[in-house]
Amino acid sequence: MIDLHSHSRASDGSHSPGEVVALAARSGIECLALTDHDTVSGLDEANLAAARHGIELIPGIEISADWESRTVHIVGLGIDPSNRALERTIARAAETRINRARAIAQSLDSAGIPGAFRGASDIAGGESNLTRSHFARFLIAGGHAKDNRQVFKRFMVKGRPGYVPAEWIGLAEAVRIIHQAGGIAVMAHPARYNVTAKRLGRMLSDFKATGGDAMEVSCGAGNAQELQMLSTLADRFGLAASAGSDFHGPDKPWAQLGRLLPLPSHHPTALGLLSVG
């Protein structure tokens, strides 16, 4: 069993990197990729735990990127976390995140919700690498929304308090950096971008044209119908298939480690690309 997309407290997951690995081992996963948002800071701890639990850890990252003024997520698998170009990209994303976090807090403050920066950083255990998930938890704790779903309807999305568009690197640059760091580039959760089928086709075709290697076909919250749709797209655009739950913690029961539909057997897989490369 494999799971090539997961988060720890290094970004917006609820478990430490070591705990994610331990849980993966308990769930019967043989090969896990830790892919925190725009950071590799959890990988050392995860590596140690993987050695202890006897599972294979693929060093990964989930890079936030811009495509046609939308945010898309590109998972890098098998990256060298100490690669200089990757380090620079991570530093730039961290700066984007801290600036955006301050702007989000300011916007919430204007909407009558003070203290969001402090609140979100307390939840995150620091000011670096704050995500909208941390603000979401702060808003729920303050009674401003009852769950994540409601948060992302009322706040931090276009036209709502706390909405701050982030300036991420472009899609092509994200792919290039992942390749420079020796990894393969995987389009994360293609069904989750809220775009028309036509635009999704253009997104994947652009991704392939910039050198993208694979796309997630089996996703955490996905069903058989989605898997079929994504499998067809992977074939059409000549992308290898990946499988990742996008695990963040136990509070999202639909995205648990290894809880994934099997990939159709005819696909070349992202894992296959890694062991060849």
User: What are the residues binding ligand AMP (CB under 6 A)?
Assistant: 12, 37, 64, 131-133, 148-149, 152, 248
Q: Cβ(218)–Cβ(241) under 8 Å?
A: yes
Partner whose binding site includes residue 231, from ligand AMP, Mn ion, none (CB under 5 to 8 Å by kind): none
Tell me the closest approach of the beta carbon of residue 93 to ligand AMP, in angstroms: 9
Q: Which of 3, 12, 38, 226 binds Mn ion (CB under 5 A)?
A: 12
Toward ligand AMP, which CB reaches closer, 51 or 141? 141
Only one of the segments 15-23, 138-146, 186-194, 209-217 lies at the binding site for Mn ion (rule: CB under 5 A); that segment is 186-194
Q: Whole-angstrom Cα distance, residue 96 to residue 126?
A: 16
3-state secondary structure 50-71: HHHHCCEEEEEEEEEEEECCEE
With residue 83 as reference, give the H or E element that holds it: none
Q: Integer distance in angstroms from the first to the last C-alpha of the chain?
A: 21
Cα angle at 174 between 168 and 104, to 5 degrees?
20
Name residue 228's amino acid: Q
Nearer to Mn ion, 213 or 246 (CB): 246
Identity at 183, one-letter amino acid code: G
Q: Which residue lies nearer to ligand AMP by CB, 11 or 231?
A: 11
Please, which residue, 73 or 100, has the CB nearer to Mn ion? 73
Q: Could you give the angle at the alpha carbon of 62 between the alpha carbons of 158 and 265, nearest 5°? A: 110
- Residue 8 or 269: the one with the smaller Cβ distance to ligand AMP is 8
* Nearest approach, Cβ of residue 100 and ligand AMP (Å): 7
Q: Which is nearer to Mn ion, 137 or 267 (CB)?
A: 137
Question: How many CB atoms are closer than 10 A to CB 236?
Answer: 12
Give the list of residues 6+ apart from residue 128 with CB closer than 8 angstroms, or none.
94, 97, 98
The option from Mn ion, ligand AMP, none interacting with 148 (CB < 5 to 8 A, set by class) reads: ligand AMP
H/E element, 165 = none
Kindly identify the residues of this chain, within the stretch 16-75, that bind Mn ion according to CB under 5 A: 62, 73
Of these partners, ligand AMP, Mn ion, none, which one is at the site of residue 84 (CB under 5 to 8 Å by kind)? none
Using CB under 5 A, list all residues that contact Mn ion. 12, 62, 73, 188, 246
